[in-house]
Structure 1
Amino acid sequence: MTSPAPSEPNPEPTFADRVYRSTSGIVGGAFLLALTLLLAGDAMLRGEGRTPWLALAGLLLVVPLVLAFTIRPAVYANEDRLRIRNPFRSILLPWAAVADVRAGYSSEVFTQEGAKYQLWAVPVSLRQRKRAARRAARASQDDPHGRTSVTADVRDSASRVAPSDQNVADLREMAERYQGRPEAQGAPQIRWAYEIIAPAAVGLVLFVVLAATG
């Protein structure tokens, strides 16, 4: 009686997604949502005539847009692909389809076909970039005795790079490392965020109709 052949282990197991999001965007979005719900709720409960309906239309329009531009944006990356969740679209990019990831005035990913997609979840802060540049300049200066500085800033190189630039560098490194994997092959896939677009469109139409007939 022959024993079954052992299954071959996967030499390159995939890791869980790395998630990149904007903390300031989430905090700002939560504040705007709370303010919108408070104002609209008060108008719907205490308003007269068309006011409650206008408040409802405003909710349908504003809430999806606030969610789209503040809380929804995210970037997910693993060994196989890069998934970008922008305000109105989700873009799935196998690493083989990624040509480059750059950060200028915004963070962007370029495909092999020449398409460009912005990374809303990785906003570029010029203030953070200037602060990191100042730390790098201080760390590179020699001390009064002519020796190269070996302060904590030198040991912690991450403190001398803006967070958005570091995130972009991480994604670029992943693209270069994993684009040859068989699981990382394929064409880009794009899906529109109808769960955001549909209620916002309904709210806009309802608001316009109520305002025009009021």
Structure 2
Amino acid sequence: MTSEQPGQADHTYRSASGMVGGSLLLLLVLLMAGEGIVNGEGRIRWLSLAWLVFLTPLITAFSLRPAVFADRGRLRVRNPFRTITLPWASVDGVRAAYSSEVLADGRKYQLWAIPVSLRQRKKALRRSGGPGSSPAAPGAGPAPGVPAAVHRAQADQAVEEIRALAERHASDEAAQGAPAVRWAYEILVPAAAGGIALLCLLFLG
């Protein structure tokens, strides 16, 4: 997971492992589909093209697209198929249990860009309290004299930063307003077109 330095006005959170995995998968799909388009004949070429149009936006949606942007006025959550804009005044809470979530205006939104790793959390717990430590609640404070970045899992640290921004800026004039949700039609439309073309080729010949 990557984020900007805390001293800067804007913070960006993305899953580095998701981006790397998605890029490799896109490359694999491109190579396989490209082989079918260039060297295939007849129906194979069209099937390869349909698979490419169908899979490319879906892989992008779940790996490269997810991101969380935070500034002094709002939290913008870019999930696979939606972008949720949350002024800080509308944020009721941020938490990381088995997934990272933000609560706003009576609704719950997942933070796809901040995946929770139980393995990382256990590793961070061992570093802060030793192998015999009992599990701590998500967002628990650091051990005395131990920097938070050393003993916290990445998801817990990111959620703590976002929670602090929400508390700091909730009363700001620029942070007022209601949540807004926008569907990612740039992902949904080509994926739907590719899926329809693929079904037609598979079942109608």
* Residue number in structure 1 paired with 2:108: 116
* Residue number in structure 2 paired with 1:29: 22
After TM superposition, list the pairs within 5 Å mapping 1:1-214 onto structure 2. Answer: 16-111=9-104, 113-138=105-130, 154-214=145-205
In 1, Cα distance between equivalents of 2:171 and 2:130: 39
In 2, Cα distance between equivalents of 1:157 and 1:83: 25
Q: Aligned residues: percent identity? A: 54
Letter in 1 for 2:161: D
In 2, Cα distance between equivalents of 1:137 and 1:155: 10
In 2, Cα distance between equivalents of 1:76 and 1:26: 16
In 2, Cα distance between equivalents of 1:22 and 1:31: 14
Letter in 2 for 1:135: R
User: Aligned-pair distance for 1:136?
Assistant: 1.0
For structure 2, which runs of at least 5 residues remain unmatched after alignment? 1-7, 134-143
Tell me the SS of whatever aligns to 1:87. coil
Does the aligned pair in 2 maintain the 1:139–1:154 contact within 8 Å? no
For structure 1, which runs of at least 5 residues remain unmatched after alignment? 1-14, 142-152
Does the aligned pair in 2 maintain the 1:132–1:161 contact within 8 Å? yes
Tell me the SS of whatever aligns to 2:12. strand
Tell me how large the CA RMSD over aligned residues is. 1.7
Cα distance change, pair 51–139 in 1 and its aligned pair in 2 (3 A): closer
Letter in 2 for 1:76: F
Tell me the SS of whatever aligns to 1:101. strand
Moved more, 130-139 or 119-128: 130-139
User: Aligned-pair distance for 1:140?
Assistant: 10
TM-score, structure 2 length as denominator? 0.88
In 1, Cα distance between equivalents of 2:152 and 2:90: 27
Tell me the SS of whatever aligns to 1:130. helix
User: Aligned-pair distance for 1:157?
Assistant: 3.2
Does the aligned pair in 1 maintain the 2:148–2:157 contact within 8 Å? no
1:7-64 CA distance string (max 9 Å, x none):
xxxxxxxx64210000000000100000000000001111112011011110111000
Does the aligned pair in 1 maintain the 2:83–2:184 contact within 8 Å? yes
In 2, Cα distance between equivalents of 1:155 and 1:137: 10
Letter in 2 for 1:77: A
Does the aligned pair in 2 maintain the 1:33–1:66 contact within 8 Å? yes
Task: From the CA coordinates, give the structure whose radius of gyration is larger.
Answer: 1
Letter in 1 for 2:186: E
Runs of 4+ in structure 1 over 2 Å off: 138-141, 153-157
Tell me the SS of whatever aligns to 2:130. helix
In 2, Cα distance between equivalents of 1:136 and 1:155: 7
In 2, Cα distance between equivalents of 1:49 and 1:154: 68
Tell me the SS of whatever aligns to 1:66. helix
* Residue number in structure 1 paired with 2:5: none
TM-score, structure 1 length as denominator? 0.84
